[in-house]
Structure 1
Amino acid sequence: MNIRSKLAWTYVILLIIGIITISAYSILTIRSFMLEEGARDFERDTEALALAAGSYSKDGTDFAEKIRKEAEFSGYEIAMYDSSGTRFLAFPDSVFTNEGTEIEPKLKQELDRNPGEPVIYNTENGEKLISYIRLQDPGEKTVYARISQLKSVYYAVVASIRHIIYAGMIFSIGAVIIVSYFVARYISKPILQLNEAALDIARGNLDREIQTTRKDEFGTLAESLNQMAVNLKADNEKLKNLNEKQSQFFADITHEVRNPLHTISGALEMLELRSLDQEKKSQYMKTAQKQIGRINRLFEDIKSLQRYDFDQSFLSKKAFDLSRTIKDAVNAYQPIAQDKGLEIKTEVDGDFIVNADPDKIEQVLDNLISNGIKYTNEGCVKVSVERLYDHVRVSVEDSGIGISREHLSRLFDRFYRTDKARSRDKGGTGLGLSVVKSILNAHNEEIYVESKPGKGSRFYFDLPVSRQSFK
């Protein structure tokens, strides 16, 4: 049974139970009310008939005929008793055939104590209302009267009302069934749509969009499913890109390791030659050591990147003087720059207290200055710092070969090289700028680049100023 049928039948059953309960309660309430009203009317009629019977008895003429007419006119069963409590007149006779002709002594005593006040018998299981009364001003013969009537007379009105209620109940049930169908259809339609959409999404159809104008919980759920599909699609794209990058990453690692290993293998083969002179041996040894160092730097960079990717607590931020860190980094690379005929300039005026990890920022500066020296054949590398209210901007600018526009978007990808052969010749691992980006991202900062081929490049980033600087 589908959800639409379940909703419809649940709604129908609950409403039918409610209608039947209300109808039964109404019938029982009306029945009880009619019987109570009938009992009060019966008591009043008893007193009136008793007065009439007393006057008829005094007249003495046509007493039986008058009682018969009263019985026919009122619809009551009437019996008359003399002073000894013996019945001498009854109408209709057939009703009293199986009843005794004497009034019970206890009842007779009670009637004698309260003349003119009826004693009514109205038992729950009895078929009749029965009333006995002693006439207040009896005649010579008539002293007591007995009046009775079937309860079904009072229930006749209830029966008519009951038929009306039953007809209304049947009509209501029919209306409920029809309304339930449309209500269940209205409620279940979005559920079925949501189920179908969820199945489509589960099957991978992430372009599926649920169209609905409803503003209730179903509309909210539809929007949630649409958003979930959008998020899943975005996540799938990310996973796809990540998978592609991972595949490329492993391919690059294989390529990066294979080349130095091939060089080391060739150097070792040459060192096995006995005819090789000492100068050549020394040259091949240096070549092998250089390649081993290159592999070591490669894996150190990979280790660093892996830590940056998965360790959220590798930073140790504190307030430190950025100008001193820059001077230390520049001093470390001065000999290398001088050997290449380059100049390293600094434009750092004053102290700049920033809040960051000093060791990681020093690593960033090392990578940027090192790259500037590597890719600059003549001119200079300049490191500058400028204050931007609550931040400082650090720039490393060179007059080197520059970078083409098509490479800028992927410049910080791992193992990405603008010129693979030349980059490898310069001893790079292809991970330096990726390390720089990872460190700055961990600081919630970005690395930016401006470059033109043949005119050099400028890398810059921002760091937050420490609160100490505002004191």
Structure 2
Amino acid sequence: MKFLYQQLLAFLALIVVTVGTLSILFFHLSKQMVYENAWNQMEGYAFTLKNEALDITKKSGQAVIRLNVTELQTAEKLLYSQHTRFTIYTANNEIMYPKKTKQISNAAISKEDWEDLQRGKIIRNRNEVRPNTSSIDVDKTANKNIKIIDIYTPCFDSNGNLVAVIMVGEDISTLSDAVNRISQNLVVIFAIALIIGVFLSTIIAHYLTKRITKLRQATSLVADGNFDVEISTNERDEIDKLSSDFNSMVTSLRESSEEIKRQERRREEFFADAAHEMRTPLTTINGLLEGLAYDVIPEESKEKSIELMRSETNRLIRLVNKNLDYERIRAGNIALNKSEFGVQGVVSNIVSQLESKAEEVGDKFEINIPKNLKVYADYDRFVQIIFNVTQNAIQFTNDGLIKISAEKGFNELIIHISDTGIGMEEKDLKNIWERYYKADESRTNTKYGESGLGLSIVHKLIELHGGKVDVVSKKNVGTTFTLIFPDKDED
């Protein structure tokens, strides 16, 4: 379907829904007001009958009802002209007044309604079509069905026991006719609005479609690979804004074309790296297993072979666990158990664990952290963050110095981890948080930098803590990571 017709249908649908909804609401409210006024009026009649024509006394502990027949007959004559009748029921659900020939309803009150009446509830009924057996208005409604609304009002004695029920019913056929006339007028109004809507919708839809056609033609050119398209815009309305956004989109597509190619290269490198990382330990394990199976490994070397297989297996487990951990963190499927604890003790423990690795490449540590300085974070994840950044510093530093310091900021803790290693270029700083990215490809297979996931995990964990991480680096000078953890929110 062409856009012109879609717009036309949209405008028409809007008009139909709006006018239709307003009509239905108006009709419903008018009808409801008719019923509400009639019910309130009948409740007033029932209250008057109870006070003026019913005398509830006690005799031998039992409630006795005396009817003032004169008052009831007078009320009956007055209500007759308003197409209204009433019936009085006893506590045994039997009709007490009037005589059967004048009753508006011969039916007993249902068990469910009776239970509601005993709880003091006034029952309202409407739109009950009944044969005209009561002759509410002989001249106008004879031999016709009448539409009745009624109420049932409970009457209690001084002990709160239900002793009588007054039912007041009214013929609302005349009122229903008035409501029907209102609905007919609404239909006419609806038809007129629809005709006007068709005319206006056609003009507006044609105007909009003409402008959107230009966008469609430009989009076709972009789909064919032409990113030099530009649409003139005057910023008058949303379509001009859309045209402006389209121009921005084309510019972004042009700029991202190279980025897509770069990401594709990264994807290929990722699969190659992952395959290489797994193939090496798997090849080692497989060779050793074959040697053990064919008993070609000397007895004195078996223990060393088993230890090597264990080491390679742990390497695979670390690689898989880091991938799984990264995905859980990225998806937000971990819960942080934050608490306050000292920074110095944690950092000292981490340095002790990494000291042997640092000594292998000639690195030394320098720690400058106040003893009473505390951080509000998840303990295990905090350890993981500091460990990964420090290990990264060891990986890219030979015969250098790794400094770890911390200070109190404004409602935050600031940790600096710096090294005197090989540093990074500007282009590397933009990508170090990406999974499997390695700034120095010559160190892809280093002993402590095998996965390229450490900094990606650090970045995600800092974000989960509500903090931030910044990195400054200079080629052949060194790198400094700044980690910021917000304090506990007192609110």
TM-score, structure 2 length as denominator?
0.49
Q: Could you tell me how far apart the structure 1 residues matched to 2:363 and 2:235 are?
A: 70
- Asked if the contact 1:270–1:284 (Cα under 8 Å) also holds between the matched residues in 2, the reply is no
Structure 1: which amino acid aligns with 2:231? I
Structure 2 unmatched runs, 5+? 8-202
User: Residues 427 and 333 (structure 1 numbering): CA distance in 2 closer, same or farther, change over 3 Å?
Assistant: closer
Tell me the SS of whatever aligns to 2:370: coil
Tell me the SS of whatever aligns to 1:446: strand
Most deviating of 358-367 and 386-395? 386-395
Tell me the SS of whatever aligns to 2:234: coil
From 467, 476, 480, the equivalent of 1:458 is: 480
Deviations 1:159-214 (A, max 9, x none): xxxxxxxxxxxxxxxxxxxxxxx999977642432343355556665653321326
Alignment correspondent of 1:62: none
Tell me the SS of whatever aligns to 1:384: strand
Tell me the SS of whatever aligns to 1:392: strand
How far off is 1:347 after superposition? Answer: 0.6
Q: Larger Cα Rg: Structure 1 or Structure 2?
A: 1
More helix by share: 1
Structure 2: which amino acid aligns with 1:222? S
TM-score, structure 1 length as denominator?
0.51
Q: How does 1:56-455 map to 2 (within 5 A)?
A: 189-200=210-221, 207-213=228-234, 215-226=236-247, 244-272=265-293, 274=295, 276-311=297-332, 314-334=335-355, 337=358, 343-400=364-421, 402-403=423-424, 407-420=428-441, 422-429=443-450, 430-442=452-464, 443-453=466-476
Q: Could you tell me how far apart the structure 1 residues matched to 2:245 and 2:428 are?
A: 39
Q: Could you tell me how far apart the structure 1 residues matched to 2:245 and 2:423 are?
A: 48
Deviations 1:61-113 (A, max 9, x none): xxxxxxxxxxxxxxxxxxxxxxxxxxxxxxxxxxxxxxxxxxxxxxxxxxxxx
More strand by share: 2
Structure 1: which amino acid aligns with 2:308? T
Q: Could you tell me how far apart the structure 1 residues matched to 2:453 and 2:418 are?
A: 20
User: Residues 240 and 380 (structure 1 numbering): CA distance in 2 closer, same or farther, change over 3 Å?
Assistant: closer
How far off is 1:300 after superposition? Answer: 0.8
User: Residues 358 and 221 (structure 1 numbering): CA distance in 2 closer, same or farther, change over 3 Å?
Assistant: same
User: Residues 4 and 347 (structure 1 numbering): CA distance in 2 closer, same or farther, change over 3 Å?
Assistant: closer
How far off is 1:325 after superposition? Answer: 3.0
Q: Could you tell me how far apart the structure 2 residues matched to 1:238 and 1:190 are?
A: 32
Deviations 1:380-426 (A, max 9, x none): 43211123333332122234455566654444443333555655241
- Asked if the contact 1:440–1:447 (Cα under 8 Å) also holds between the matched residues in 2, the reply is no
- Asked if the contact 1:294–1:427 (Cα under 8 Å) also holds between the matched residues in 2, the reply is no
How far off is 1:3 after superposition? Answer: 8.8
Structure 1: which amino acid aligns with 2:330? D
Structure 2: which amino acid aligns with 1:435? I
- Asked if the contact 2:433–2:459 (Cα under 8 Å) also holds between the matched residues in 1, the reply is yes
How far off is 1:353 after superposition? Answer: 3.8
- Identity among equivalent positions (%) equals 29
Deviations 1:319-357 (A, max 9, x none): 544344323323433455567775433111143344443
Higher relative contact order (CA 8 A, sep 6+): 1
Deviations 1:267-290 (A, max 9, x none): 334445645433433333222222
- Asked if the contact 2:425–2:473 (Cα under 8 Å) also holds between the matched residues in 1, the reply is no
User: Residues 207 and 445 (structure 1 numbering): CA distance in 2 closer, same or farther, change over 3 Å?
Assistant: farther
Alignment correspondent of 2:194: none
Structure 1 unmatched runs, 5+? 8-181
